[in-house]
Amino acid sequence: MNKEKITTLKWFDIAILSLILTGHGIIYSTIQYLDMLKNPVIPYPDLGFSPIENYQALAFLLVWLFVAFLYLLWRNFDFSVWLRKIRLTPWVPLQALGFFLLAALVMDVFHLLSYEFAIPAIPSFLPIVADFDLSLVLYSLLNGFYEEIFFLGICLTVKPEHQKWAFLYSLMIRFAFHTYQGLGAAFGIGILVGSLFFFLYQKMNKKNLLPFFLAHSIADMIGLSVLYYFWQ
Cα–Cα distance measured from residue 153 to residue 147, given in angstroms and rounded to the nearest whole number: 9
Cα–Cα distance measured from residue 67 to residue 119, given in angstroms and rounded to the nearest whole number: 38
Using the predicted structure, report yes or no on whether residue 126 has a pLDDT greater than 80.
no
Q: What is the mean pLDDT of residues 53-74?
A: 96
Cα–Cα distance measured from residue 43 to residue 180, given in angstroms and rounded to the nearest whole number: 10
- Residue 227 confidence (pLDDT): 80
Please tell me the total count of domains within the chain.
1
1 located within any domain: no
User: Would you call 214 helix, strand, or coil by DSSP?
Assistant: helix
96 located within any domain: yes
Q: What is the mean pLDDT of residues 152-163?
A: 96
Using the predicted structure, report yes or no on whether residue 119 has a pLDDT greater than 70.
no
Using the predicted structure, report yes or no on whether residue 1 has a pLDDT greater than 60.
no
- Residue 29 confidence (pLDDT): 94
222 located within any domain: yes
- Residue 129 confidence (pLDDT): 52
Torsion of CA 68, 189, 45, 59, to 10 degrees: 20
Q: By residue range, what is the domain housing residue 112?
A: 11-231
53 located within any domain: yes
169 located within any domain: yes
- Residue 81 confidence (pLDDT): 96
Distance of CA 59 to the CA centre of its chain: 17
- Residue 115 confidence (pLDDT): 64
pLDDT in tens, 173-228: 999 999 998 898 999 999 999 999 999 999 999 999 999 999 999 999 988 988 87
Band (pLDDT 50/70/90 cuts) for residue 44 is: low
Listed in sequence order, the residues at least 6 apart from 170 whose beta carbon sits closer than 8 Å to its beta carbon are 150, 151, 152, 155, 156, 194, 198
Using the predicted structure, report yes or no on whether residue 124 has a pLDDT greater than 50.
no
4 located within any domain: no
Residues paired with 6 in a beta bridge = 77
43 located within any domain: yes
Q: For residue 110, what are the CA distances in angstroms to 185, 192, 215, 221, 225?
A: 9, 9, 19, 21, 11
